[in-house]
């Protein structure tokens, strides 16, 4: 690497860091040692995060945090960093207690703390919240189950007339402007 290339590289990194106050550690090591090779710990923390975002989501749902380890989605490579950040904030705010051991209210406070930090971390937290909601409510990993919390039945063979329609629905209809449904 030439001196010019080195300077350009450092300059680019500095620009990113300055623009987003990005923790350099995040850029250099997205897999902190506290979570490396500890999939159960990661799973526990991420489950605690999802039930914080969606109170009432079943913590033992096998697909609850699958979106964070699915290589199809870019968040995967930041999952361990994110979980570590949750713990770091928890320890700072609640006396050395990890995120998964906090109460719902305390966990909410930790997530709010993440959402009020620097631009890059805010983006990471928002992405994590987005993934949790889309994955859980959408039932993306098991459409046959849907999402019971919001009464989403998932895949089906159609509904009965009673489920789909009102008998004598016409009583609720507004007047029609057209004879065919097409406006002239």
Partner 1 sequence: MKTIRTEALVIGSGFGAAAPALRMAESGIEVLMIEKGPDIKPDRDFKQTSDPKYLLKYLKSTSTDSIGFTYAEGLGGGSGFYEMVSLRAPSNVFDLTDETGRKYWPSSLTRSVFDPFYDRAEQMVNVEQIGDDEIPKTGVVFSLMMKNLGYSCDRARYAVKGCVGSGFCVSGCVFGAKQSLHMNYLPQATAAGMKVLTDLEAIRIEPTRYEEEYLGSSRENEHYRYAVICKNTVSGEELRIVAHIVILGGGTVGTAKTLLRSREQMPYLSKHVGKNIAFNGSIKAAAILPDSFIDGDMLSGRSHPGMISYEFFDSHGMTVFAVKPLPLDVASTAHLYYEDENRDPKTWGAASVEVMKLYRRRMIILCALGLTRPSASFVQTGEDTFEPRLELSDEIRSYYKHGKELLHSIFTRNGCRVLVPQFVNGEGTEFADIHITTTHMIGSCRMSDSKKHGVCDYNGEVFDYPGLYISDGAAIPTSLAVNSSLTILANAERIGSHLAVKYGRRKITYNSNLYQIDMAK
Residues that bind partner 1 (CB under 8 A): 52-56, 72, 108, 111-112, 123, 126-134, 136-141, 143, 146-147, 149-159, 163-166, 169-170, 172-178, 180-184
Comparison of 33 and 156: residue with beta carbon closer to partner 1: 156
Residue 88 C-beta: closest distance to partner 1, Å: 20
Residue 175 C-beta: closest distance to partner 1, Å: 5
Residue 10 C-beta: closest distance to partner 1, Å: 27
Paired tokens of 178: 């057209």
Query: In angstroms, rounded to a whole number, what is the distance separating the alpha carbons of residues 181 and 171?
Result: 18
Instruction: Indicate left, alpha or beta for 146 from its phi (over 0: left) and psi (-120 to 50: alpha).
Output: left
Closest CA to 22 of 139, 141, 135, 123: 123
Comparison of 96 and 183: residue with beta carbon closer to partner 1: 183
Comparison of 1 and 177: residue with beta carbon closer to partner 1: 177
Paired tokens of 145: 């189950």
176 contact partners, CB below 8 Å, separation of at least 6 = none
Residue 8 C-beta: closest distance to partner 1, Å: 21
Comparison of 5 and 162: residue with beta carbon closer to partner 1: 162
Residue with tokens 């039930």: 51
Comparison of 2 and 182: residue with beta carbon closer to partner 1: 182
Paired tokens of 58: 């079943």
Residue 21 C-beta: closest distance to partner 1, Å: 16
Comparison of 41 and 79: residue with beta carbon closer to partner 1: 79
70 contact partners, CB below 8 Å, separation of at least 6 = 76
Paired tokens of 180: 């065919």
Residue 183 C-beta: closest distance to partner 1, Å: 4
CA 152 to chain centre: 19
């Amino acid at each position: 690497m030439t001196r010019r290339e080195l300077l350009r590289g450092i300059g680019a990194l500095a620009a990113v860091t300055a623009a987003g106050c990005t923790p350099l550690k995040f850029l250099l090591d997205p897999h902190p040692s506290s979570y490396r090779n500890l999939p159960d710990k990661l799973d526990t923390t991420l489950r605690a995060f999802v039930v914080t975002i969606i109170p009432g989501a079943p913590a033992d749902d096998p697909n609850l945090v699958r979106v964070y380890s699915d290589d199809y989605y870019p968040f995967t490579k930041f999952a361990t960093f994110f979980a570590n950040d949750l713990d770091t904030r928890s320890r700072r705010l609640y006396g050395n207690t990890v995120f998964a051991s906090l109460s719902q209210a305390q966990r909410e406070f930790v997530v709010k703390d993440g959402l009020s930090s620097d631009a890059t971390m805010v983006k990471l937290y928002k992405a994590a919240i987005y993934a949790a909601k889309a994955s859980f409510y959408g039932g993306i990993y098991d459409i046959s189950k849907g999402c019971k919390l919001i009464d989403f039945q998932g895949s089906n063979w159609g509904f009965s007339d009673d489920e789909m329609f009102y008998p004598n629905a016409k009583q609720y209809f507004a007047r029609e402007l057209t004879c065919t449904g097409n406006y002239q």
